[in-house]
Structure 1
């Protein structure tokens, strides 16, 4: 009999166990108000613009020496025909120099040896600026459940109703 009494008490204890513990179930509450939580987020970025400026550029042009050589020879021959004695040598030298200058100018179209020209150059200028962006980081949701209002923060807008997990526990005395 003692064994039957122990078994009966164990069965009754296991049957009473759910009554002493919490009961959980799902239900729905009616959404009363939804307010987005907005946060300002700093977004640094770079702003650039391109300006065009005039800058001097030294240009080296290809020049021919052929005109100066031929001009120098022709000038020396002409200078040699003028004058006599020591004046003839001076006239030959002057003719060679003059002929070389004229021959160079004719051959190279009067282009100077090096020429500075103004050229438009693109100059990119950048600076860092702070931009701010508004982001929704959650929602304050107020809902009604059995005549009482509750507020909770949620990641998404739940719509017209919110699913609830209801936990019922007996009050301890």
Structure 2
């Protein structure tokens, strides 16, 4: 009776292990994709430019004309005229009306004396005065915003935009997967990207490098001397 139970348990374990093994076998190709860095040849490089304006303020000294009247109004004529008018009123007046005559004579004499003394027009003087004048000046300049790069890899052309001139070759990130699961992907790798990372030993196709004798992309147009090594 014990043997029968033991066989049942073992059979159950085997029955459970078989589906798991089948699932692992079918799932393995999905994890078989590979990723590495390779080198592609640059076909053309077009600078990308943009015009920007950086206005600046500029100041300079200019001379402007200013006019003013030279000479002060004289009070001498009014004083002399007032004294003369008062004396005349004192001579003309009689009795109690002498005081009024003196006052009227002094006032009239002062007015007449002021008009006579200041009858000439004041002299107008014109001079140049320095004045700081500021202007807003446009400063247009053409700046480089990057490079539009067309490169070729494995017989196909791709485009990307780089911050610096790439030179003759660019690094590309290659992702390989079975055709029924996902298409292969090619993308540009910025200079210095993961130089010491996990792909350091995987430059070239798969685990191989350009030091190998055989090319793995079947593209024999470029020999090993045209490639860069790191």
Is 1:145 the counterpart of 2:160? The answer is no
What is the RMSD of the two structures over their aligned residues, measured on CA atoms? Answer: 5.0
Q: Which residue of 1 aligns with 2:24?
A: 11
Give TM-score scaled by structure 2 length.
0.44
Between the two proteins, the alignment pairs up a number of residues equal to 157
Tell me the CA shift for residue 141 of structure 1.
1.0
- For residues 89-137 of structure 1, what are the alpha-carbon distances to aligned partners after superposition, in whole Å with 9 as ceiling and x for unaligned? xxxxxxxxxxxxxxxxxxxxxxxxx8754332125253x4444211111
Q: Which residue of 1 aligns with 2:61?
A: 50
Q: Which residue of 2 aligns with 1:28?
A: 39
Give TM-score scaled by structure 1 length.
0.55
Note if contact 2:59-2:132 (Cα within 8 Å) is conserved in structure 1. Answer: no
CA distance in 1, matches of 2:29, 2:45: 42
Which residues of 2 match residues 73-152 of structure 1 at below 5 A? 117-121=125-129, 122-124=131-133, 126=135, 128-152=136-160
Corresponding residue to 1:2 among 1, 5, 15: 15
* 1:53–1:132 Cα change, 3 Å: same
* 1:53–1:7 Cα change, 3 Å: closer
Tell me the CA shift for residue 31 of structure 1.
2.0
Tell me the CA shift for residue 7 of structure 1.
3.5
- For residues 60-92 of structure 1, what are the alpha-carbon distances to aligned partners after superposition, in whole Å with 9 as ceiling and x for unaligned? 89xxxxxxxxxxxxxxxxxxxxxxxxxxxxxxx
Note if contact 1:53-1:123 (Cα within 8 Å) is conserved in structure 2. Answer: no
- For residues 24-78 of structure 1, what are the alpha-carbon distances to aligned partners after superposition, in whole Å with 9 as ceiling and x for unaligned? 2211112232210112223344454432133224x889xxxxxxxxxxxxxxxxx
Greater fraction of residues in strand: 1
Q: Which residue of 2 aligns with 1:168?
A: 176
SS at match of 2:31: helix
RCO higher in structure (CA 8 A, sep ≥6)? 1
Corresponding residue to 2:162 among 154, 160, 163: 154
CA distance in 2, matches of 1:37, 1:124: 39
